Copies of this chain bind each other. A is one copy, B any other.
Amino acid sequence: MEEVATADTEPSPMRIALRISYLGRRFSGSQQQPDTRTVEGVLIETCLRLGLFEDFRSAGFVSAGRTDAGVSARKQMVAFTTPYPERAVSSLNRMLPYDCQATGWAEVPESFNPRYQAKSRTYRYLFPEEGLDLQLMEEAASRFVGLHDFRRIARVEEGRDPMRRILSAGIFRDEDLIVFEVSGKSFLWNMVRGMATLLCAAGAGVIPPERISTLLTEEGDRIPAAPPDPLVLWDVDCGLTFNPLMRSEKADQLLRNEADRLRIGEKMVGWLGGDRRDLFWNEEIHDELGHLL
């Protein structure tokens, strides 16, 4: 047990930023909510147990952004102020669950807020490759780049600006999956998942890639969001240099167990018939989006 500093040697508080990685599947989103397991909830509870702060509000605990239930993060960012930064660095990962671990830390100015200081955010979205044409998807993705009104593929809260600038949007293959990678200064709620729906429609030949540009500017119903599980907040760039933090040994082991379970489940499903593949995404998209597109 670490010794807690006594009042007369109370250290001066330091604000730190943490790079956080989590598996979205077991969380009801990132944002704190009562009576449900959220990323912020788990982080704040662990900080409280470690005595890093007594109240998340006075510690100025903030995240770079909200992710929905099911959405994972490779490099989410949080920041808070604590008199015990060494304790945070040395003990957080041992106390955090395996599906939410810190992978880096940095000292930041007292005014630092990752939500407002992020220069860019990058997301990745995964598609199964079957039935999807990589080149059509590339052409479709390129249509998102630049400044556009994204209200038709996002949930826009009352009074928010629906214009967003996309810095880059690309498609590449990774083994038997297709990866969409998109960067922008900020994103609207559900916006990347709306992009994923359109990319899937273009890749399956349901809409021509150039249709995306006109779609964004047309009046009409909102395009539904693609499922959350294939989405990961890949990076948040605040111009910081992070000191790496190791995942705890136990967390590493449990994450590998999870990977094994998934590989075994995949083989099992394949054995029971799930490896006969065809253009099913195509059909689904026709059914669900036909009337919208």
A residues whose Cβ falls under 8 Å from a Cβ of B: 21-25, 72, 74, 101, 103, 126, 128, 174-177, 229-230, 232, 247, 252-253, 255-277, 280, 283-284
In whole Å, how far is A102's beta carbon from the nearest beta carbon of chain B? 12
**What are 28 A-B contacts defined by CB distance under 8 Å?**
A21-B272, A21-B273, A24-B268, A25-B265, A74-B271, A126-B264, A126-B267, A126-B268, A174-B267, A175-B267, A176-B263, A177-B264, A229-B261, A229-B265, A229-B268, A230-B264, A230-B268, A232-B268, A247-B273, A253-B280, A255-B273, A256-B274, A256-B276, A256-B277, A259-B270, A262-B266, A263-B266, A266-B266
Interface on chain A toward B: helix, strand, loop, or mixed SS? Answer: helix
B262 and A269 form a contact (CB under 8 A): yes
In whole Å, how far is A110's beta carbon from the nearest beta carbon of chain B? 31
Question: Would A271 and B232 be within 8 Å (CB), given that A252-B276, A262-B265 are in contact?
Answer: yes
Closest chain B residue to A126, Cβ basis: B264
Q: Write out the residue numbers on chain B whose beta carbons fall within 8 Å of the beta carbon of A263.
A: 128, 176-177, 266
Bound complex: CA of A275 vs CA of B257, how far in Å?
Answer: 10
Q: Write out the residue numbers on chain B whose beta carbons fall within 8 Å of the beta carbon of A126.
A: 264, 267-268
Closest chain B residue to A258, Cβ basis: B269
- Count of this chain's copies in the oligomeric assembly: 2
Bound complex: CA of A258 vs CA of B266, how far in Å?
Answer: 8
Known interface pairs A74-B272, A126-B268, A253-B280; 17 further A-B residue pairs with C-beta atoms within 8 A, sorted by A's residue number = A22-B272, A23-B269, A72-B272, A101-B273, A126-B264, A128-B264, A229-B264, A229-B268, A230-B268, A255-B273, A257-B280, A258-B274, A259-B266, A259-B269, A259-B275, A262-B262, A262-B269
Q: Write out the residue numbers on chain B whose beta carbons fall within 8 Å of the beta carbon of A21.
A: 272-273
B272 and A23 form a contact (CB under 8 A): yes
Q: Write out the residue numbers on chain B whose beta carbons fall within 8 Å of the beta carbon of A265.
A: 25, 229, 262
- Which of B174, B175, B255, B280 contacts A272, CB < 8 Å? B255
Q: Write out the residue numbers on chain B whose beta carbons fall within 8 Å of the beta carbon of A284.
A: 253
